[in-house]
Amino acid sequence: MTGPSDLGFWGFVRGLVFLFDAESVHHFFAKKLRFLGSNAFGRWCLRRISGTNLAKARHPVNIGTLTFRNPIGLAAGFDKEGTMILALPHLGFGYVEVGTVTPRPQPGNAKPRLFRDADRFSLFNRMGFNSPGAEEVAKNVTQARASGCLPEDFRIGINLGKNKTTSAEDAPADYGLAVRPFDGLADYLVVNVSSPNTPGLRELQTVESITKIVGAIRAEMTNWKAKPPIYLKLAPEVRGETLEHILAAEKNLGIDGWVLTNTLGGYWKGGKGGWSGGALGTLGRDCLERVRGRSRLPILSVGGILERREVETRLARGANLVQVYTGWIYFGPRWIAHLLKAFTGEKT
Ligand SMILES: Cc1cc2nc3c(=O)[nH]c(=O)nc-3n(C[C@H](O)[C@H](O)[C@H](O)COP(=O)(O)O)c2cc1C
């Protein structure tokens, strides 16, 4: 269940940074990535650090009319504000899912709210959709796109959520508001009804609620020139009858694809939250297989990918693309280049 056996310099850096609070470390690296992504020398440094060769990191995948520069994306929750986008292609990623974005700014849950369980290569979080709000995130994405520094086949997805204080009844309106500023900015959209950290959110994983939410987003996009596909992100706990109902109604939901899956709900360090990484076991793969058995729509498979072989397995079992988060934290900046070797047949 490990990544590359030799972590090199990252093994040393990781030992140091893991001495500090996980969220503080995240913000520290977020600032660095934002700065390094903003200038040509910084981007060169990122390529050197990560072993990324921009030309070699191109393994295009088409989904409908969209071309993704390679099948490995950075999952939602790492770049919630869209401030690190310019750095990401230079770290090897083919696309990023920005967010979750809430319509209005909100601080998220009380800290500490992000923890490591290094024995299991896992993270446990109860962030609770800390977001500067949709307007602010849209400004950041606009800036990244306008910079002219993004490879033209690097894709940006926008993951949408609702504010904590919004009732289930008013949720569709919130998703509509959240998508409003993203006209011309999103390559794809994700309806996130699967975070365990917003009370009541997961109860929206019903045919009726999903249909209403997707309808509200589509209504908001009526006058958009380009209408991005809408994917639905589910929790790994959605199985059995609940999943059957959703799959049976697939054609009426109005969705264009799936993101499978979010974190696994649990209780640790004095509160509720969600497990990612090794703690997910095979849940992400199982969900992919179950949905692929019934659906022909594109699937972005995420959750518990800690090895290159697992990337190959997910794609072989019907995923169109994969996403990673926790594995990247544990295995470091050279890990994406290592995963990409799955597409060149290189052994190391
Ligand atoms: C700290 C943290 C924050 C996250 N925030 C979000 C989020 O805002 N929206 C979302 O859809 N998923 C979020 N996720 C879930 C990830 O996108 C992904 O589904 C999950 O971590 C499983 O992938 P992994 O095992 O590769 O980490 C978050 C995960 C982590 C670890």
* Ligand 1 atom index nearest CA of 129: 8
Q: How confident is the model at residue 1 (pLDDT cuts 50, 70, 90)?
A: very low
Q: Measured between alpha carbons, how far is 33 from 87 in angstroms, rounded to an integer? A: 6
Q: Given the structure tokens 């090895």, which residue do they identify?
A: 307
CA-based angle 277:272:282, to the nearest 5?
Answer: 25
348 within a domain of the structure (yes/no): no
Task: Give the pLDDT of residue 347.
Answer: 67
Residue-range definition of the domain harbouring residue 94: 9-343
* Residue 4 predicted with pLDDT over 60: no
Domain tally, the chain: 1
- C-alpha closest to that of 97 among 308, 250, 317, 300: 300
185 within a domain of the structure (yes/no): yes
Which DSSP symbol is given to 117?
Answer: E
166 within a domain of the structure (yes/no): yes
Mean pLDDT of 145-165: 96
3 within a domain of the structure (yes/no): no
1 within a domain of the structure (yes/no): no
Q: Measured between alpha carbons, how far is 312 from 326 in angstroms, rounded to an integer? A: 18
* Residue of 195, 276, 295, 301 marked active site: 195
Report H helices in the chain: 9-17, 22-37, 40-50, 134-146, 171-179, 207-220, 240-248, 250-253, 283-292, 308-316, 326-331, 335-340
> Which phi and psi angles does 269 have, rounded to 5°?
50, 45
290 within a domain of the structure (yes/no): yes
- Supply the residue whose CA is at minimum distance from atom 4 of ligand 1: 77
Q: Measured between alpha carbons, how far is 234 from 207 in angstroms, rounded to an integer? A: 12
Q: What are the tokens at 57?
A: 């990191």
Q: In this predicted model, what pLDDT tens digit does every residue of 109-136 receive, in sequence order?
A: 999 999 999 999 999 999 999 999 999 9
Q: In this predicted model, what pLDDT tens digit does every residue of 48-64 receive, in sequence order?
A: 999 998 888 899 999 99
257 within a domain of the structure (yes/no): yes
pTM: 0.96
- Best residue among 237, 262, 268, 323 to mutate for probing ligand 1, ranked by most atoms within 8 Å of CB: 262
CATH number of 134's domain: 3.20.20.70
Question: Is there a contact between 302 and 260 (Cβ–Cβ < 8 Å)?
Answer: yes
90 within a domain of the structure (yes/no): yes
Print burial letters for 15-52: b (CB count within 10 Å at least 16), e (below 16).
Answer: eebeeeebbebbeebbeebbebbbeeebbeebbebbbb
131 is known as an active-site residue? no
